[in-house]
Every structure is written in C-alpha cells, then in structure tokens.
Structure 1
C-alpha cells in the first residue's frame, strides 16, 4: 500500500497554518512546510514561519535548513520532503505538507524526475552573455513567446530559471512545460489535497493586514539585517517580502511605496497560487468565511478521517 499523505494548500494568508495544527492534533501528524522560502534561516517574519509557541508541540520540518546565500531548488525540496515523509511514516505518524509553492509540492507528489537533462554549459554561457548584453527582459520576452505557461510561473527577474527554461528549449526542442509533463512519474503516495479559498476581497484585506502586522513584528529590521550580512543579490532575497524592501534601504523609494508594492505583489502571488492549484492539481476545495471557518474545519476533519481510514 502507498503511504498516505495529507496536503493543505491555498494562497498566502488564507488560514493554512491554523488548519494544519488542528489536522496534526487529530490524526497524530507531523507537519512539513511546503513553502520554498521557509528553508532559509533568518527569514522568519517575511515568510510567515510558524512561531514556536504556535506549534502546540507538533513537529515541523523543512524549516531553517539553509543559509540565505545557498541555492535551493525544486529538486532539493523533493529530496528533503520525500526523506521526511519516509521518517515520519516510520514513526507511524501522518505526514502533512502545508504550503503554497505549487511546483515544489507537485514535484514531491508526482515523483518528478529532475535528473534526465543535464546542464549544457556552452548554451548556458551563451544565454548569460546575451543577458549581459541585452538584459534579462530580452530573454524573458523570448520565453513568454515560446512558453507562456512557464513564463507565468517565473518572475521576470529570476535569471536562473529564465535561462534554464530557454536552455531546455534550445537543447530538446521542448518547452519547459512540455518537458516537465514528460518527466512526471506515477505518485509514490496516496494523497488527499485540501485547498482553502475565500472571497477575493476578504483575502486581499487579510493579506494587507498581514503585511502591516509583519512590519509591527520587525520585518524592516529582519530585511536590514539580511542586507547588512551581504545577502542582497542572492536568490533568497528575490522572495516576496524581501525584494520589495531592498530599494527602500537603498534610498531609491519611500517606505510607503515599498509597502504598497509588497501588498500588491502579495495579492498577485495569491492569484497565481489559485490559478496553479486549480489548473494543475486535484484539490478538494473548501471556501472559508469568518462565520463558517469552524464549521468548515470540522467538515475537513470528517473528510480526512474518511481518507485516513479507507
């Protein structure tokens, strides 16, 4: 029999953390962060890491594994999460993946094979030289024309992923979207995906308030500390919550403008998260409102009990 895995997904600020604790307590579970940025030490407030006092004694994994100057890919995420699933299962506990990084979670559940296509150094160098001459926007426009689906998933300034997608296309003749479909294997797990959603206006208000709360909790001090340690140009600092504040500390924009951009980017990211999970994964959706959240959580626990016992 395949190992059963519970997965809780949805956009930022929708309530995944609260639900995950309830699920873990009910089903003797351990939680695996499905957020690709929570692996970084010192990036706590901006990634909304759970606080120790909020865990209620539930073990949490995939947090604080890397320093901000280290690379961390979907392939790395797959390796670590599958290792944790094995260890948690060996303890007769239920693995519960919680997060919003859709591609990373999909890589775990569908046992995506990352090893088939090796890097082509010559192609990479040519693309990097082209980027130096014409800018990353030039390469991103090409990617958008070739593979609009992949371009939607990649931030226009993410040099590494833009170049990798173009390299795959030039080497194989397949877009990254087509290539990834070929690499997806049969899932080694029996999983139930629980998706949380809510009215967009309500969600966006929650996102705006969360960012205001993050500032009160010390987000500015956290970002400044990371800048002072020399992490500005590393991949980790391109995460939402960090990249928007770097221009403020460089004296290029006002704090008010930086925070408005951060709120806007967070809302747009939530929209992309919805799109990804609704188009790419088989999710059981539950719509939350402030008045029905306890009732919906009860329904989710009942549905998960049926999954666990089946």
Structure 2
C-alpha cells in the first residue's frame, strides 16, 4: 500500500516547519488538515504558511473557499483523499499536517460521514427547540431515535446534537449508522509533536502578540467590512470572534486579546483529547529536543524502507506457484495504522 504521513499536535507547535523539512527530504507535498486555513482572506489569524514556506514545499487545501462557505467534514475528507491520491500519482509523498483532530482522524481512520448538506432552516428550528426545552430534554429527543449517537454526545454540546438530529430527519437513518469506519488503502505513519504545556502556552501568547503586530485586527475589520459576519463558521476561528466583539464595541481591545489567549489555551487542551499522548499509533517527539527533527526523519526513513521491503517480498510471492501463495501471504504482515507500535 502507498504511504501516508500524518503530522499532528497542538496549535503553534511547529507542524508546518517539520512538514516542510520532510517534504524537502523525501519529495513530499503537504495536505493541510486545518479547518481555518481553508478560508481565503484569513491569513494572519489562521497562521497560514508564509510565502517563503509555500515556495519551500507544495501545499494543498489552503485558500480554497471564501469565508461564507460551509466546508463540511465530508467534503474535506473527499478533497483530502483526492489530494493524497493525486500526490501518489505524481510519485511524491503525501504529508497530512494539521491540528484539527476531527479532520485528521476522518482521513486516517476512514470515517463514514453522512453526505448531508447543512439545512440552515432546519438547524434554526432545532436550535430554537433546544432553547425552549433545554439541552437535556433536547438530547433526549436524539436518544429516542439514535441511542448510539446520543450515548457519545454530551447534552451540552447542542451543536453536535442538532447535527445528529438533522441527519436523521433528512435521511431517516441514524447518524451512527452513517459513521462506520473503513480504513483507507494507505500505510500510515503518524508523527506527533509535543512540548511541556506551560512552555507551549507562553509560545502561543507570544505568537498572538506577533499576530496583532502583523495586522490581525485590520484583517478582521476587513472581513466585517466585506459582509462576513461573526456567525459564519469561518469566523469562529480563534481571535476572529473576539476581535470582532471589540470592533462592535462590546469589549476592549485588551479584553479581546486576553480572551483570544484564553480560548487558544482551551483549544490546545481539546486538541490533546484528539491526539492523546498514550496513543500508540502516534510516534511522539518533544520539539524542545535539539534532535527531534532528525529523529522524525530517521523514523520516516525506516518506515518507508520497511514498506519497500514488504513490497519486494510480495512481488517474490506472486512470482511463485499458486499453491504456495496462501501460506506465504499469511506470513507477510503489512504495517498499518492499526498494528504499528511506536
């Protein structure tokens, strides 16, 4: 199976820099798995790769839709698989890099995702119902038609409860039935980047200060002037809604920046729920170690070499008599995300 490398970890940890280094060393192309970098006109606040970084390695799925476009998980998955297959067709190595956990795992694990476009009218009706009866009673409505989905969703996560009900009401099929996993046809290596939490928080605070100096506030002001309001999914990105509240006169600029830093820390904690340090499928590296990039390159080199060896063994097996194939194929274990131990 062709390889796929996933580079994951919390925001601000250095995933892009490592992805570029790997791309340059192994003829790779980067597929972004960042749910905010897909949007045009939103460069500073989403920490998109710089012009120099975009030149240093090919990037895909960046700047692909306008801020008023709702890019669903299903569409991202479809676009990501198409990008990965196109990279393989060119003889290059695909590198899935990003911190949006749901997006990464949808590709890596092959989630079955309902191809049900958002129905804004229905969503508004469901949201009104949730406000009327309360989140617990509203959650019970989901439990009545899809107990499996309800069991996985906290009643306070009203947005996801609404989505689950929306899928059921539009298709007549529970969302849990849509969400079966089918692993993709790739050999997958996941590289995770980590550092002590307090050190990461300080790095994030500094990055937000630099974003403000680079014109983040003017970027948000321009988006609002173009008619992109704070209720769009794109504008829920860290900092955009907070600075928008300042521009609307609701809070001070100092409060907006402080809230952005606070929400970013909360987001980092959520990311570690998606990418757990005890997940054996992920090869974790401490970015404060001076040789972490070298360790990543060495791990990847061994992974690719192992794949080549397995392919060579399979080629030899298929050259033999049919009667010997079954036993020898059973003896070959192709490494996949399900059985590789880091």
Q: 1:69 to 1:125 in 2, by over 3 A?
A: closer
1:8-19 counterparts in 2 under 5 A? 8-19=7-18
Query: Equivalents in 2 of 1:71, 1:141: separation in Å?
Result: 28
Match of 2:94 in 1: 95
> Which residue of structure 2 lines up, in the alignment, with residue 205 of structure 1?
202
Offset at 1:263?
A: 0.3
In the alignment, structure 2 segments of 5+ residues that lack a partner are 144-149, 307-342
Residue 219 in 1 paired to residue 205 in 2? no
User: Which has the higher relative contact order, 1 or 2, with Cα contacts under 8 A spaced 6 or more apart?
Assistant: 1
Tell me how large the CA RMSD over aligned residues is.
3.0
Please report how far the alpha carbon of residue 54 of structure 1 lies from its aligned counterpart in structure 2 after TM superposition.
2.4
**Cα separation, 1, equivalents of 2:121 and 2:253:** 42
Contact kept? 1:8, 1:16, Cα under 8 Å? yes
Give the distance between the partners of 2:208 and 2:154, measured in 1 at CA: 27
Match of 1:82 in 2: 81
* Count of residue pairs the alignment pairs up: 296
Unaligned stretches of 5+ in structure 1?
A: none
What residue number does 1:67 align with? 66
Alignment pair present for 1:228 and 2:225: yes
C-alpha displacement at 1:288, in angstroms? 2.3
Cα offset, 1:306, TM superposition: 0.7
Deviation sequence 1:229-248 (CA, Å, 0-9, x none): 11113221112121111110
* 8 A contact 2:135–2:155 mirrored in 1: no
* Structure 2 CA distance for aligned equivalents of residues 272 and 215 of structure 1: 24
In the other structure, the counterpart of 2:29 is 30
| Cα separation, 2, equivalents of 1:122 and 1:309 | 53
TM-score by structure 2 length?
0.78
Contact 2:20 2:56 in 1 (8 A): no
Please state whether the residue corresponding to 2:275 is helix, strand or coil. helix
Other-structure match for 1:239? 237
Is the CA contact 1:143–1:166 (under 8 Å) kept in the aligned structure 2?
A: no
Distance in 2, Cα, partners of 1:190 & 1:43 = 33
Q: Report which stretch shifted further, 273-282 or 20-29.
A: 273-282
Deviations 1:247-293 (A, max 9, x none): 1010010010111110010011011101111177821111222xx2x
Distance 2:81 2:155 in 1: 27
User: Which residues of 2 match residues 245-284 of structure 1 at below 5 A?
Assistant: 245-278=243-276, 282-284=281-283
> In 2, Cα distance between the equivalents of 1:22 and 1:302?
12
Q: Which TM-score applies when normalising by structure 1? A: 0.85
Change (3 A) 1:150 1:23: farther
Secondary structure, aligned partner of 1:306:
helix
